[in-house]
Amino acid sequence: MKPASSEVFQLGLRLTELDEVALESLELREIARPLLLRLAYDLGETVHMAIVESGRAVYVEKVDMPNMIRIYSAVGRTVPLHCTGAGKALLAFSPSAFQEAIIAQGLLAAAVGSRAGTYRSPPLRARGVGVVTGASPPAVDVDELAAELLAAEAGRAPVEPLSARHPGLDVASAYRVQGEVIRRRLGSGDRLRGPGVDAAALLAATRHVVPSLEIIDSRIVDWRIALVDTVADKRLLGDGRDR
């Protein structure tokens, strides 16, 4: 970052490539920190400072307020512009050509109020406030991630961690991605699907039946288990590791 004049600053660094050490030395943060703190205490809310980098918002500083709704964010993390508070504010004050370019990329379904019209500049800039309802991280595109993983598998080319690139990827969405990957791998050809499958249809689709013993292993005493006990206790899986 180079001072262009006494009060105007020009960003001259590729911030996405900065590690924490580099960020620590960033003058912008030192200057902004007292202002961010005052904002946070005045508002009683978490405050982020972000810049635009490669079409995304990069958090460069954050002040967390205790006892407030925790926001899933971290300095150095990049998030989409169109569905984050900081991103919307940055978009609102960007040239309209840039706004249209972001919109043209396609907007991932995310936080409420992320439709194109809500952050094209005039209304938002006039109001001076960008609002993201709720504190949810942006939703992930399950189909996109599944396709990426399958392509990585097919091309034997590992990809960067999804977690680093998709802050909204929580465990539940990761399972949805996994499900989609499996679904695409297996194909939906001759799978037996409901609704309306009865015992006769089920038997007609069965190749053979075989006697089996299930080895179970419970951490709960005396077999007094409810459904949630079973689920929490990894479905009574007897994997031979517990002796």
Partner 1 sequence: MVVIGDTEAPPGGVDLGEGLRVTLLRNGEEVSAGTGAAVLGHPAKAVAWLVNKLAEYGEGIGPGELVMPGAVSAPTAQLSPGDEVSAVCDGLGSVSVRFR
Q: Give the interface with partner 1 as residue ranges (CB under 8 A).
A: 179, 183, 186, 188, 190-203, 206-216, 223, 237-240
- Report in angstroms how near the CB of residue 196 gets to partner 1 at its nearest: 7
* Sequence letter at residue 50: A
* Distance in angstroms (rounded) separating the CA atoms of residues 80 and 203: 50
69 or 199, CB closer to partner 1? 199
- Report in angstroms how near the CB of residue 234 gets to partner 1 at its nearest: 12
* Distance in angstroms (rounded) separating the CA atoms of residues 80 and 71: 15
- Report in angstroms how near the CB of residue 214 gets to partner 1 at its nearest: 5
- Report in angstroms how near the CB of residue 212 gets to partner 1 at its nearest: 5
Bridge partners of residue 53, in order along the sequence: 56
* Distance in angstroms (rounded) separating the CA atoms of residues 178 and 143: 10
25 or 223, CB closer to partner 1? 223
Peptide bond into 195 cis (omega under 30): yes
- Report in angstroms how near the CB of residue 174 gets to partner 1 at its nearest: 16
DSSP E strands, 28-148:
47-53, 56-63, 78-80
- Report in angstroms how near the CB of residue 204 gets to partner 1 at its nearest: 8
What is the β-pairing status of strands 9-10 and 47-53? Answer: unpaired
* Distance in angstroms (rounded) separating the CA atoms of residues 194 and 187: 16
H or E, element range at 9:
strand 9-10
47 or 181, CB closer to partner 1? 181
25 or 212, CB closer to partner 1? 212
154 or 199, CB closer to partner 1? 199
43 or 220, CB closer to partner 1? 220
* Distance in angstroms (rounded) separating the CA atoms of residues 20 and 178: 32
DSSP state of 90: H
Contacts of 157 (CB under 8 A, 6+ apart): 151
